[in-house]
């Protein structure tokens, strides 16, 4: 039996509630953002986590003991020490391709997974608080059983249980009003989700009707540009329009990316406000059978105008060249249906029928060329310009799985999990430079274990080698360090805010 009581079920993810919509929710959020301080420039700053304050997880820290200097000193990076465990040699494990075998997964959890940083990220403070102890963790076991409502008193307890269970993946849920393990013994009304990071999910399969290079679970650098552009558009919107500062983007391990908005204001949003934020950011609507998925009023909202300016930078290369969606004669009708003038459409169709192998870039240029030649007396130039803007948005604007964002009790795969199909690690993406991220370069669990073996074989048991954490010997190092800096920035801000509030209230802060 597991050490921590929970529900075991076959994969059947979250229990979704039906939040009520609120027409004023976006206005409330915009007002909150206006009152918040201006967000810093997007980038990676030299800060670190508070690992050194967590050596004894059971110790309770009193916030009054921290000085400003001590809070700043908490940003000094102290890597997790190398665990003292008996690890079977990698050569003893049969290769199973890129996928992650149970043996490889166990080694990964024991030697590489950044448990302490994950605890700090979820907890926001050095010692355990209800943000961690009342947080739901859900495990997918190697036999595909789904173990829900797990919770842990310390990071060390979570680490030991993860290593013991050796799940193929695990997911992060909300912070509840009571410990999730006690949900069966508390009144139903007393057990409810209180907070969770605002999350967004972008999946490449939602672009299948547009991308021509790949389909289904396959991706390449050409279609990954959809995700790159989506990160650029959404990251700016979250920071500028809502004033959020702590936005963590994470590679899903195969064909998508997740955003975790970790600001306190974001974590405390109820379902109605989450729905409002998702609706504000969602422009592309309708299934594969919809003729037109973008229908906007003019003049355009400033967010849409800003997004268009970002999209224009990539439209020519990503859509017209890489995807080339209208080259085949049978695909031009889709473009023509998005243009407003029938006479112009007829002339375009005639021209394209005589040049069957004409590229999408050439056909896109033909629209303005024929319009300027006056082939249609009824053509409205303003209406045509707006229609072309809608085409850019329909083909390149982020396609969100909005349901993921709308519900407080939704669970999402944890950063640094291993994708069971690809064996790749779900690593953070630097949102300041998303174009530098290559999913093909993300290490697999098998590769990481090989890198540790190679490093140890090269450097032996020198003193400097012994002091290194295992992740520092691998290509996982820059991703873990990025996560450490992100967590440190988040913790430093929340610690200072909490101390200031405590001083204003004249109360001591005990965890």
Q: Active-site residue among 80, 161, 201, 390? A: 201
In tens, the pLDDT along 133-161 reads 999 999 999 999 999 999 999 999 999 99
Domain-embedded: residue 352: yes
pTM of the predicted structure, to 2 decimals: 0.82
Does residue 1 sit in the same domain as residue 124?
yes
Cα–Cα distance, 172 to 59 (Å, whole number) = 25
Name the DSSP class of 301.
Answer: P
Q: Active-site residue among 106, 136, 341, 394? A: 136
Does residue 188 sit in the same domain as residue 306?
no
Which pLDDT does position 289 carry in this prediction? 67
Domains in the chain, number: 2
> DSSP letter string over 182-246?
GTTTS-GGG--EEE--EEEEEEGGGGTTT-SS--TT---HHHHHHHHHHHHHHHHIIIIIT----
Last residue of a domain, one of 194, 218, 248: 194
Domain-embedded: residue 391: yes
Domain-embedded: residue 246: no
Domain-embedded: residue 202: no
Residues 6+ apart with CB under 8 A from 180: 6, 134, 135, 136, 149, 150, 151, 173
Q: Give the three-state DSSP class for 249.
A: strand
Last residue of a domain, one of 148, 178, 194: 194
Which pLDDT does position 290 carry in this prediction? 74
Active-site residue, 136 included: yes
In tens, the pLDDT along 414-462 reads 999 999 999 999 999 999 999 999 999 999 999 999 999 999 999 887 7
> DSSP letter string over 151-167?
--SSHHHHHHHHHHH--
Per-residue buried b or exposed e for 433-468, using 16+ beta carbons within 10 Å of the residue's own CB = ebeebebeebbbbbbbbebbeebeeeeeeeeeeeeb
> DSSP letter string over 50-117?
-GGGGSSTTPPPBGGG--HHHHHHTTS--PPPPP------GGGSPPBTBS--HHHHHHHHHHT--HHH
Q: Which helix (H) or strand (E) holds 140?
A: strand 135-140
Tell me how far apart the terminal alpha carbons of the chain are, to the nearest angstrom. Answer: 31
- Residues 4 and 151: beta-carbon distance below 8 Å: yes
Domain-embedded: residue 506: no
- Residues 346-360 have a mean pLDDT of 91
Cα–Cα distance, 51 to 46 (Å, whole number) = 16
In tens, the pLDDT along 279-315 reads 999 999 987 667 899 999 999 999 999 999 999 989 9
Last residue of a domain, one of 370, 396, 422: 396
Domain-embedded: residue 152: yes
Active-site residue, 144 included: no
Domain-embedded: residue 329: yes
Q: Taking all residues of the chain, what is their mean pLDDT, rounded to a whole number?
A: 84
Domain-embedded: residue 206: no
List 444's β-bridge partners, or say none. 424
Range of the domain at 349: 302-396
Helices (H) and strands (E) in the chain, counts: 18, 10
Active-site residue, 386 included: no
Choice among 305-309, 483-487, 504-508 with the minimum mean pLDDT: 504-508
Does residue 132 sit in the same domain as residue 3?
yes
Q: Active-site residue among 57, 195, 203, 494? A: 203
């Amino acid at each position: 039996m597991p050490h921590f009581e929970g529900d075991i079920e076959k994969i059947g993810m979250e229990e979704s509630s039906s939040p009520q919509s609120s027409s004023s929710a976006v206005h409330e959020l915009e007002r909150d953002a206006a009152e918040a301080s201006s967000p810093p420039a997007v980038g990676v700053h030299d800060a670190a986590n508070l690992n050194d304050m967590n050596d004894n997880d059971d110790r309770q820290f009193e916030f009054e003991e921290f000085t400003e200097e001590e809070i700043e000193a908490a940003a000094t990076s102290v890597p997790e020490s190398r665990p003292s465990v008996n690890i079977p040699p990698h050569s003893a494990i049969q290769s199973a391709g890129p996928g992650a075998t149970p043996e490889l997964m166990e080694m990964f959890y024991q030697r590489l997974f950044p448990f302490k940083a994950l605890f700090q990220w979820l907890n926001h403070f050095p010692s355990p608080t209800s943000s961690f102890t009342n947080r739901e963790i859900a495990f997918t076991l190697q036999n595909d059983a789904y173990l829900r409502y797990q919770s842990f008193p310390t990071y060390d307890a979570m680490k030991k249980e993860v290593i013991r269970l050796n799940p193929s993946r695990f997911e992060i849920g909300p912070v509840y009003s009571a410990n999730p393990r006690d949900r069966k013994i508390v009144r139903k009304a007393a057990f409810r989700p209180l907070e969770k990071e605002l999350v967004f999910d972008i999946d490449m399969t939602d672009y299948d009707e547009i991308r021509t290079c790949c389909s289904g679970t396959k991706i390449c650098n050409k279609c990954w540009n959809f995700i790159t552009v989506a990160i650029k558009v959404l990251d700016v919107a979250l920071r500028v329009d809502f004033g959020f500062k702590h936005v963590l983007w994470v590679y899903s391990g195969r064909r998508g990316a997740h955003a975790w908005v970790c600001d306190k204001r974001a974590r405390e949003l109820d379902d109605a406000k989450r729905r409002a934020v998702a609706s504000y950011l969602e422009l592309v609507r309708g299934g594969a059978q919809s003729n037109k998925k973008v229908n906007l009023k003019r003049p355009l909202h400033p967010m849409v105008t800003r997004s268009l300016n970002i999209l224009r930078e990539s439209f020519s290369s990503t859509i017209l060249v890489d995807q080339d969606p209208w080259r085949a004669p049978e695909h031009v009708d889709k473009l023509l249906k998005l243009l407003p003038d029938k006479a112009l459409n007829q002339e375009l169709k005639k021209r394209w029928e005589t040049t069957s192998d004409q590229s999408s870039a050439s056909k896109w240029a033909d629209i303005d060329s024929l319009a300027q030649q006056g082939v249609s007396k009824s053509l409205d130039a303003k209406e045509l310009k707006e229609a072309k803007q809608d085409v850019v948005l329909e083909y390149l604007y982020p396609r969100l799985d909005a349901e993921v964002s709308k519900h407080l009790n939704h669970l999402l795969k944890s950063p640094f999990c291993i994708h069971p199909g690809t064996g790749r690690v779900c690593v953070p993406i630097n949102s300041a430079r998303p174009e530098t991220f290559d999913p093909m370069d993300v290490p697999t669990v098998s590769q990481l274990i090989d890198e540790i073996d190679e490093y140890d074989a090269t450097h032996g048991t020198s003193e400097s080698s012994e002091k290194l954490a295992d992740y520092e010997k691998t290509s996982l190092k820059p991703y873990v360090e990025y996560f450490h800096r992100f967590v440190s920035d988040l913790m430093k801000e929340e610690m200072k805010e909490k101390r200031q509030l405590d001083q204003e209230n004249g109360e001591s802060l005990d965890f």
